Amino acid sequence: MKTNRSNKGFTLVEILIVVVILGILAAIVIPQFSQASSEARVSSIKSNLQMVRSQIELYKIQHNEALPGAGTLDFVDALTLQSDIDGATGTDYGPYMQKFPVNAILDVGSVIGEIVYGTTAPAVTADMGWNFNSTTGVFTALNAAALPGDEDW
């Protein structure tokens, strides 16, 4: 008596070859995703810097060349709340932003370092995502040195 036996499974060698090929493909593709993620963070910071800097300029124009935070409102409140011509709470101007952006590299945003309205500036700490110098009006991202490319942030 003859029996027909058909093997419908894969051999161990065939499975190992497929696993090796998938491993090689994964080794090629995964670095590309991490690079794209880094590029997205850089792009996000550049976009946020451009937006905040343009809102600072608009604030200056509407507040007689005074920088945000020079009145009774602090820097973030001056850009996210309504204010009068003197930089105090009012309804004449603003808000310039709905919410203050987050630094995509450090994942922090609303705390600002180096606001120099008095004679001393607070020390930059790890919970600060942005830097605004009220003397020069320069707004930059903290930890920009860790990012590739444009140093003029």
Domain membership flag for residue 137: yes
Sheet holding 112-113, edge to edge: 112-113, 130-133, 138-141
The H or E element containing residue 67 is none
Domain membership flag for residue 30: yes
Domain membership flag for residue 6: no
User: DSSP H helical segments within the chain, as ranges?
Assistant: 12-62, 75-80
Domain membership flag for residue 47: yes
Domain membership flag for residue 3: no
Residue range(s) defining the domain that contains residue 83 = 14-146
Given a contact cutoff of 8 angstroms between Cβ atoms, the answer to whether 90 and 106 are in contact is no
CB burial string 131-145: b at 16+ within 10 A, e below: bbbbeeeebbbbbbe
Q: What pTM, to 2 d.p., does this model score?
A: 0.68
Per-residue pLDDT of the chain (153 residues; tens, 9 = 90+): 566 666 678 899 999 999 999 999 988 888 777 777 888 888 888 999 999 999 999 999 999 999 988 888 888 889 999 999 888 888 889 899 998 888 887 776 655 655 554 445 555 555 577 888 777 888 888 765 544 444 444
Total domains in the fold of the chain: 1
